[in-house]
Structure 1
Amino acid sequence: MENQKRLRNMLIILTFGLMLVQGSIDNIRGVLIPSIKDEFMVNYTSIATMMLLSTLGYITATFTGGMMTDKIGHKKLIFAGFLFAITGIAGIAMAGTYFALVLFMFLLGYGIGLLTMGASTLAPVVFVKNQGIMMNLMHFFYGMGATVGPKYAGMLLAAGVAWRDIYRYSLIFVGTVLIYFLFCKFPHIEEKKKEERVPLREILMDRRVVLFSLLLGFYVASEVGLANWLATYLQNVKGMSESKSASYLSLFFMIFTIGRLIGGFIAERVGYMRSVFIFVLSALVCLAIGIFGKKEYVMIISLGGFFFSIVYPTVMVILIKSFKKGLNSIMGVVITASSGINMIANWFIGKMNDLFHEAVGFSMILFFLSIVLVLLLMLKRELAGERKQAP
C-alpha cells in the first residue's frame, strides 16, 4: 500500500511537470514573435498561419491521444510526446526558411499535444480526492511555466540573445522533466480495467460534448490569443519596448498562476459553474478597461490574469463529473474540437492585424469571451436537464 502511494505521488508530480513544460514552451513564442517576423520578413498573416499549423499539430495529437492511451498506455504516449517536442524545438532553433520553421512548429505542437493528453488522462486516475482543487493545482504549474517562460525570454532578448538560442536553452528544461519521467512507473495505471467505450458517433451527437467543445474552444482562443498577441499589441499599439511588454505578459501569467493556486478552493466553495461564470465576466471587464482605457490602465489586463485562472481546469472538472463512461475518448474529442476553434480564432486575429490594425485584432478576444458567457448559460441549462432526466 505504501509503495502504491509512493508511485501515485510520483505520477502526480509528473503531471505537474508536464504542465510546467507546456506552459513555458507555449508562451515563450508570444514574446519571440516580433523577432521571428523580422528575421523571416513575413507579415502577421504568415505568423498566424505558423501558429495555426502548430495548433493543427496539437489537434492531431489530441484527436488520437485518448484512443492511443487506451491502446498503448500512458507511458508510451508521454514518451512519444517528449520525442516529438524535443525534435520540434531543436528544428525551430535551426530552421533556415519559413517553411522549415512551420514544419517544426507543427512537430512541436504535436509533441505538446501528446504530453497534454498524457497529463489530462492521467489526472482523473491519480487525483482520487478533491478533484477541483487538484485540477486547479495541476494547471497552476501550467501558469508557473507561462509566467517564467515569457519573462526568461524577454530578459534574454534584452541581453542580446538570439531567439533561436532561447529555444535551444529551453531543451535543458524539457530534458530534465524527461529524465524524471523515465524513473516513473505506471503498473497500477496500465493494469487498470479499461473503461466502457462509447461509439464516436454517439459522442459527437451528444449536446453536452458540443457545448463543452465550443465553450473551451472560445475560452482557449481568448487565453492563447492573449499569450500570443499581448506583447505585439503592447509594442505596436501602446509603444512599449520588448522587455517591458514581456514583463506585462509575465505579470499576467504570474497573477494567473496565483489564481490557479487558490482558485480551486474558491470553486469548491462557490460552486463550479457559478465561479466560472463570475471569473469569465470579470476577465472580460478587465480586458475591456485595459484596451479602451488610458495607457496606464494596461496593467489591468495583467491583473485580469487572476480571472482567467480557474476557467479551464474547473470546466474540465465539470466535464469529468458529467460523463459516466467513455471519458478518455470524450476528452480527446472535446480537446481536439476546442483546439480547432482556437486555431481558427487565432489565425483570424492575425488576419485582422494585417487587414485593419493590431488594436482591432487584439480586441477580438473581447468577442470570444462574450461567446463563452453565452455558452456557459446554455451548458448550465443542458446539465440541469440531464440531472432531471437521470433516474
Structure 2
Amino acid sequence: MITEQQTNRPAGRKRNRTYILHLATIFLGFIIFGISENIKGPAIPRIQLDFNLNEMQIGTLLSLNALGYLIACSFTAILTRKIGIKWVSMLAFGTMAISGIFIFWAHSYSWFSASYFLMYIGNGMLEIGLAILSARIFVRNTGTMMNLSHFFYGISSTVAPMIATGLMTVTIAGHTLDWRGMYFAMLMLSVLPMIPAAMSKFPSDAPDDATGLQRIPLKQLVKDRALWLIVLILSFGVVSEMAVGGWLVNYLEKSYRWEPSAAAGMLSAFFLCFSAARLLLGPITDRIGFTLSIIILSGLTGVCTFAAIFGGESYAFLFAAAGIGIAPIYPTVMALIARRYPRESDTAITFVVTMMGIGSVIGNYLIGAITNGFKQLFGQDTELGLLRGLQAGYGFIGLCALLCSVFGMVLYRYLKARKQLI
C-alpha cells in the first residue's frame, strides 16, 4: 500500500530541486552583477587615458550608463508580465554577454559608450528580475535571506577589481588583453547563470501563481508617503554604494599617487568589508528592524567616508570600512518592500528601482561636475586643484550616505506614528 507520505516525497523532491535552481540563479546572478559593476574601477583610468577624457566626461559616461539602467528598469516590469521572470533573466544575462563582445571591439569613444550602455540595459533587467524573484521566494527571514543573496554580489565585487587588474596585464599570443579583453572575458561569465535559469520554473511562470491577485494599482500605491521615503533612502544609499566602484581607485591613484594594484586592493578591501557585512548583519536587521538598521548603518558609512577624506592617506583604510555600513542598505530596503507590499512587491520594486535609477543618473553626474568644478576653483592644472576636486567629489558620496540615514529617520517616525514599523 502506498502511503500519503510516500506520494508526497516526489513532490517534495521536486520543490527542493526547484528551490535549489532558484537559489543558484539568484546567487550566480548577483555574482555576475557584482563583476559587471565593479571591474570598471581599475579600468576607468585606462579608458580615460585611451579616449583622453576628463573627470566631467567620466561622470557623464557613468550617468548615461545609469540612464540605460533606468530605461531597462522601466520596461522590465512589463516584459516580466509578458514573458515571465525566467526569460527576462535569460535575456538580461545574454545582453550582458553580447555587450562584452561589443566592448572588446570598441576602438572609438562613441562605440564604447554604446556598448557600455547596452551592458547597463542588461544590468537593469537583471536587477528587477532578481529583486522580484527574491521577494517571492524569501517569505521567511526576509532580511537575512536578502542580505545573503546580496552577499554574493559583495564577494564578486571584492575579487573583481583585483582579477580585472591582473587580466589587463595578461598577454596571449603577443597581444595584451588590456581593459577591452578584460571586459570580454569577465562578461562572458554571464552565460553560467543561464544554465540553472533555463532548467527552472519560476514563480511568475507557474499557472497557480497568486501574486497577481487583488493588486493595488500603481496610481494608488504612489500615494503612500512611505514609498517615496523608501525611494529617497534607496537613491542616496545606492549612489553612495555604487559610486565607490567608479571613483575610489581614481581617488587613490590621483590623490595619493598609489600604484594601480594598491588602489585596486583598497577597492577589494572595501568589498571584503561589504561582503562580510551582508553575510553577518542580515540576522541583526531582522532582529532590530529594517528602518532602524538603515539609520544606523548608513550613518556609519557617512562618518567613515568623511573621516577618510579629512584624515588623509593614513586614514585611507576607512574608505574600506565604509563598506560595512553601506552593504546592508539595498537588501534591507528590498526586504522592507517585500514585507510592506507583499502582493504588490513586483510593482513596488519596479517603481522604487526606476526612481532610484533617476537618482543614480543625477548622482553620478553631480560627482563628476563637483570634482571638475572644484578643480577649476583651486587650479585646473595644479596638484592642489586635482586634490580638492577629488575630495569634494568623494565627499558628495559620503553626503549621500548621511542623507540616506536622515530620510531613514523620517521614515522611522512616519511608520512608528502609524504603528507600522517592520
- Assess same fold via TM > 0.5: yes
| Amino acid in structure 2 at the alignment position of 1:367 | L
Task: Answer with 230-239 or 320-329: which moved more.
Answer: 320-329
What is the aligned partner in structure 2 of residue 53 from structure 1? Answer: 64
SS class of match (2:215): coil
2:309 to 266, 269, 291: 291
Q: Structure 1 322/42 Cα, relative in aligned 2: closer, same or farther at 3 Å?
A: same
Q: Distance in 1 between matches of 2:322 and 2:420?
A: 36
Q: Identity of counterpart residues, as a percentage?
A: 30
Deviation string for 1:206-252 (max 9, x for gaps)?
Answer: 21221111110011010111121000001111211111100000110
TM-superposed CA distance for 1:96, in Å, is: 1.9
What is the aligned partner in structure 2 of residue 65 from structure 1? Answer: 76
What is the aligned partner in structure 2 of residue 273 from structure 1? Answer: 291
What is the aligned partner in structure 2 of residue 232 from structure 1? Answer: 250
Deviation string for 1:104-156 (max 9, x for gaps)?
Answer: 11111111111111111001222232111100000001101111111111223
TM-superposed CA distance for 1:263, in Å, is: 1.0
What is the aligned partner in structure 2 of residue 35 from structure 1? Answer: 46
What is the aligned partner in structure 2 of residue 169 from structure 1? Answer: 185
What is the aligned partner in structure 1 of residue 366 from structure 2? Answer: 348
TM-superposed CA distance for 1:298, in Å, is: 0.1
Structure 1 unaligned runs (5+)?
A: none
What is the aligned partner in structure 2 of residue 381 from structure 1? Answer: 413
Task: Answer with 34-43 or 176-185: which moved more.
Answer: 176-185
Structure 1 contact 195–326 (Cα < 8 Å) conserved: no
Task: Answer with 323-332 or 14-23: which moved more.
Answer: 323-332
Q: Structure 1 388/218 Cα, relative in aligned 2: closer, same or farther at 3 Å?
A: closer
Residues 150-165 of structure 1 aligned to structure 2 (within 5 Å): 150-157=161-168, 161-165=177-181
Residues 197-236 of structure 1 aligned to structure 2 (within 5 Å): 197-236=215-254
Q: Structure 1 251/140 Cα, relative in aligned 2: closer, same or farther at 3 Å?
A: same
1:125 to 136, 157, 167: 136
| Amino acid in structure 2 at the alignment position of 1:267 | T
Residues 131-142 of structure 1 aligned to structure 2 (within 5 Å): 131-142=142-153
Structure 1 contact 158–242 (Cα < 8 Å) conserved: no
Structure 2 contact 21–196 (Cα < 8 Å) conserved: no
TM-superposed CA distance for 1:88, in Å, is: 1.7
TM-superposed CA distance for 1:24, in Å, is: 0.8
What is the aligned partner in structure 2 of residue 178 from structure 1? Answer: 194
Task: Answer with 253-262 or 357-366: which moved more.
Answer: 357-366
Q: Structure 1 187/306 Cα, relative in aligned 2: closer, same or farther at 3 Å?
A: closer
SS class of match (2:53): coil
Q: Distance in 2 between matches of 1:371 and 1:195?
A: 36
Residues 67-106 of structure 1 aligned to structure 2 (within 5 Å): 67-106=78-117
Larger Rg: 2
Q: Structure 1 296/385 Cα, relative in aligned 2: closer, same or farther at 3 Å?
A: same
RMSD over equivalenced CA pairs, Å = 1.8
What is the aligned partner in structure 1 of residue 14 from structure 2? Answer: 3
1:358 to 390, 403, 406: 390
2:32 to 17, 21, 24: 21
Q: Distance in 2 between matches of 1:188 and 1:50?
A: 35
Deviation string for 1:257-280 (max 9, x for gaps)?
Answer: 011111112212332222221111
2:322 to 284, 291, 304: 304
Question: Is 2:341 aligned against 1:323?
Answer: yes
What TM-score do you get using the length of structure 2 for normalisation?
A: 0.88
Q: Distance in 2 between matches of 1:385 and 1:209?
A: 16
1:190 to 188, 206, 231: 206
| Amino acid in structure 2 at the alignment position of 1:31 | P
Q: Structure 1 196/80 Cα, relative in aligned 2: closer, same or farther at 3 Å?
A: farther
Q: Distance in 1 between matches of 2:234 and 2:304?
A: 20
Structure 2 contact 55–368 (Cα < 8 Å) conserved: yes
Deviation string for 1:14-49 (max 9, x for gaps)?
Answer: 111111110111010122110001101121222112
Q: Structure 1 195/98 Cα, relative in aligned 2: closer, same or farther at 3 Å?
A: farther
What is the aligned partner in structure 2 of residue 144 from structure 1? Answer: 155
SS class of match (1:39): helix
TM-superposed CA distance for 1:326, in Å, is: 2.1
What is the aligned partner in structure 2 of residue 257 from structure 1? Answer: 275
Deviation string for 1:168-215 (max 9, x for gaps)?
Answer: 111342122223332323378532122433333223332122111111
**Across the two proteins, how many residue pairs are aligned to each other?**
389
Structure 2 unaligned runs (5+)?
A: 1-11, 171-175, 375-388
TM-superposed CA distance for 1:365, in Å, is: 1.1
| Amino acid in structure 2 at the alignment position of 1:60 | I
What is the aligned partner in structure 1 of residue 6 from structure 2? Answer: none
Q: Distance in 1 between matches of 2:79 and 2:306?
A: 41
Q: Distance in 1 between matches of 2:288 and 2:57?
A: 43
